[in-house]
A and B are shown apart, each in its own frame.
Chain A
Amino acid sequence: MKYLDEFRDRATAEALIDEIGALAERIDAAARRPIQLMEVCGGHTHAIFRYGIGDLLPKRIELVHGPGCPVCVLPMGRIDDCVAIAERPEVVLATFGDAMRVPGSRKSLLQAKADGADVRTVYSPMDALALARRLPERQVVFFALGFETTMPATALTILEAARDGIENFSVFCNHVTIVPTIKAILDSPDLQIDGFLGPGHVSMVIGTAPYDFIARHYRKPLVVAGFEPLDVLQSIWMVLRQILDGRAEVENQYARVVREGGNRAALEAITTVYELREFFEWRGLGSIDHSGIRIRVSFARFDAERRFAVPGARIADPQACQCGEVLKGVIKPWQCKLFGSACTPQDPIGALMVSSEGACAAYYQYGGAGSPEDRP
């Protein structure tokens, strides 16, 4: 494919891997500690597994798969609320496919659909709005989730619904914002991360400036990375280079897409439609201040939480589940007591086993469920 294949060139990849190996050798050899790099975005996690990148890196480099899978981090209580909305007879619930299998405390949306709820898969919030226009006698609710990547599309859909006076459309808003979450991870006392691969698609919207505190305050290097194998490898090389030089800066490897100031139109749509919640519950990480957003009062009629009374119960994560420790890089997915036995992609307990972008599901699917020796 034009403009893609050049980012998947094997010879270039091999040359980069050699250089990464050479850099890793030179970094603080005395410490003999693994170098832990966290990719924040689930898209990177997927690319790393899809292309077997972990397998190519020197053993000393450990990739920690961060909280960037928006499906995985949804707490059970929110799924329960969504199921409750979907089970109302007047409602058509429109959702992305990934969200269908996320377990709630009672059931997933897939089970709710089998039990008779009208749940439909869409590919964009605009599809959901089109559904509302087509079914004027029904209440169409879009299950919105994702980081800043998907926020603008939901916001623009709400703006269009407002402009056209669509009365039977609303949004169950579960959008979350990445920066407070990275901060929560950095504040964690058991943190071992040496550097970050920053999320490429999120940064396309918010730009690179919001990460400055990571370099300034926490003295950790961050490189905003693209999603092709060579993007990931080059970004790893750039982080290592910073570590070796003793620098902690925000660098942009994905400059072909990401601008320093982000995308102004997208940011404008976001601030018009949403405001920050005081706190939001994350599966595996607990409650994080200012990490969720909700729909502003001026757009209240498009807010499904206001339109339909939702139970809003807080459901604790399953006790034995160690998603939080995996997210922070304290343990590897297969070191969790439940991995591959009680918790599998067919029957997930922990959030990270749910979507193909979740670290545990990716290990399970692409890394196999055998012994730790043959992990990627």
Chain B
Amino acid sequence: MSRITVPTVTLAHGGGGKAMKDLIDDVFVAAFDNALLAPLDDQARIALSALASHGDRLAFATDAFVVDPVFFPGGDIGTLAVCGTVNDLAVGGAVPLHLACAVIIEEGVAIETLRRVADSMAASARAAGVTIIAGDTKVVPKGACDKLFVTTTGIGVIRSGLELGAQLARPGDVVLVNGMLGDHGAAVLMARGDLALDAPIASDCAPLHGLIAGLLAAAPGTRFMRDATRGGVATVLNEIALAARVGVEIDEARTPLRETVRSMCEILGLDPLYLANEGKLVAVVPAPQADGALAALRGHALGADAAIIGRITDGPPGRVTMRTIVGGRRVVDMLVGEQLPRIC
């Protein structure tokens, strides 16, 4: 393997020749380094018996990442790409095992940028207990993409007997989150730098498989989990209400919000319930197991600020409502398009 000496990616690095091989070897394979990746064939091969030892169903998920900026406080597109797919698997009750990644690179991106992103992916994969076992890179002309787009696809295995689903939520069940809401959305918005605001907000990007394992052990009757990414907690709650044909009521005073995020939302006219999270989930748990679930979440480093924020009701099906801090009640609907700041 020869080390890349040029400072930036050119179209030659996507040409299928030696430059491309150097880029893949020196940047990605060096960082991801594992036995299943090592043969560098067109496919990674996994023994079925190794998968079957974890359970009886395969979970399979894919996610594309186009975040701007590529680097932000608390993470970068690499951490996001690994944690995002790991969490999509884990909230389904799966043990995440392997990822594949495809990277689309705009010519002119610094090799150093790619190294940083690949290192982040490798570190996040280690933290999540998964290996990146297959991949692909493409280089496109300037302007055909914005710096770097990453897609990850993952597989995991669900243990026998575990059944989760939004449609399983029942009136009386309790709704929990594992901590402060909206950090990721706020951090990325801030990192874009076009707001004349400066606040120390870091993304909450983290793999949730460990936290989830603890939750499922403490509350085996858990009905449903979903990571509250784009669209935030409000969107997940609406998805639950629609799927289970139930009402959901949350209590504004009990939704955990960081002071800086709350202030930023006040200034920009944003609703933190719709801000993206990358290390937060919504869980629906039968009431008798709620205390155990809360204790399990709070006992994990990624759940210290966990809270019970509401409950499933027999209210109008599909309707999410919020008891506001002054005691009023309002509907929390799905967002229309992008969340836009109001002007006055």
Binding site for B on A (CB under 8 A): 1, 4, 8-10, 13-14, 17, 42-43, 46, 49-56, 70-71, 96-101, 121-124, 127, 145-147, 149-150, 201, 229-230, 233, 345-346, 355-357, 364-368, 370, 374, 376
Chain A neighbourhood of B196, CB < 8 A: 123-124
Complex-state Cα separation, A195 to B344, whole angstroms: 23
In the complex with contacts A1-B266, A101-B337, A346-B337, A42-B327 CB distance below 8 A: no
Majority SS at the chain B contact face: loop
Is A98 a contact of B194 with CB atoms below 8 Å? no
Q: Give the docked Cα–Cα distance between A53 and B262 (Å).
A: 20
Contact flag A55-B340 (CB < 8 Å), given A127-B194, A368-B319, A370-B319:
no
Q: Are A96 and B327 in contact (CB under 8 A)?
A: no
Q: Which residue of A lies closest to B344 (CB)?
A: A149
CA distance A364 to B262 in the complex (A): 24
* Interface pair A42/B344, CB less than 8 Å apart: yes
Please measure, in the bound complex, the distance between the C-alpha atom of A96 and the C-alpha atom of B268, giving whole angstroms.
11
Q: Contact: A1 with B326, CB < 8 Å?
A: no
| Contacting residue for B194 out of A96, A123, A150, CB 8 A | A123
Q: In this assembly, does B136 line the interface, its C-beta being within 8 Å of a C-beta of chain A?
A: no
Find chain B residues with CB under 8 A from A43 CB.
342, 344
CB contact under 8 A between A98 and B336, given known A49-B330, A56-B326, A123-B194? no
Q: Across chains A and B, which 8 residue pairs bring their CB atoms closest together, nearest first? A: A52-B328, A97-B340, A13-B326, A52-B330, A345-B336, A368-B331, A229-B326, A96-B343
Q: Are B344 and A70 in contact (CB under 8 A)?
A: yes
Given known contacts A51-B330, A53-B326, A98 and B266 CB-to-CB distance under 8 angstroms = no
Tell me which residues across on chain B come within 8 A of A376, comparing CB atoms: 328-330
Contact status of A10 and B266, CB under 8 A, knowing A1-B259, A366-B333: no
Report yes or no: B316 in contact with A97, Cβ–Cβ below 8 A.
no
Q: How far is the CA of A49 from the CA of B322 in the complex (A)?
A: 11
Interchain residue pairs with CB less than 8 A apart (23): A1-B262, A9-B326, A10-B326, A14-B327, A51-B324, A52-B322, A52-B328, A52-B330, A70-B344, A71-B343, A97-B341, A98-B342, A99-B343, A100-B340, A146-B343, A229-B324, A346-B337, A356-B342, A365-B331, A368-B316, A368-B331, A376-B328, A376-B330
Provided the pairs A346-B337, A368-B319 are in contact, do residues A8 and B326 lie with their beta carbons within 8 angstroms?
Answer: yes
Beta-carbon contact of B327 and A123 below 8 Å: no
Interface membership of chain B positions 103-133, coded 1 if the CB is closer than 8 angstroms to chain A and 0 otherwise: 0000000000000000000000000000000
In B51-66, which residues have CB < 8 Å from any A CB? none
Question: Does B195 lie at the interface of the complex (its beta carbon under 8 Å from any beta carbon of A)?
Answer: yes
Q: Contact: A365 with B324, CB < 8 Å? A: no
B313 to chain A, nearest CB (A): 13
A150 to B344, CA, bound (A): 8
Measured CA separation A2–B341 after assembly (Å) = 22
Taking CB as reference atom, which chain B residue is nearest A348? B336
Identity of the chain B residue whose Cβ is nearest the Cβ of A14 in the assembled complex: B327
Count CB-based A-B contacts (< 8 Å).
111
Nearest chain A CB to B339's CB is how many angstroms away? 9
B8 at the interface (CB under 8 A from A): no
Name the B residues within 8 Å of A1 (CB-CB): 259, 262-263, 266
A100 to B337, CA, bound (A): 11
- B319: chain A residues at CB < 8 Å are 368, 370
CA distance A9 to B325 in the complex (A): 7
User: CB-CB < 8 A to A370: which residues of B?
Assistant: 316, 319
Instruction: Establish whether residues B266 and A50, one from each chain, have CB atoms under 8 Å apart when the complex forms.
Output: no
When the two chains form the complex, which single residue of A10, A201, A345 contacts B325, counting CB atoms closer than 8 Å?
A10
Chain B residues positioned under 8 Å from A54 (CB to CB): 328
* Smallest CB gap from B319: residue in A: A368
Question: Which of A4, A101, A201, A368 interacts with B333 by CB under 8 Å?
Answer: A368
Q: How far is the CA of A230 from the CA of B343 in the complex (A)?
A: 22
**B residues within 8 A CB of A150?**
343-344
**B residues near A17, Cβ cutoff 8 Å:** 327
Q: Measured between C-beta atoms, what is the minimum distance from B36 to chain A in Å?
A: 42
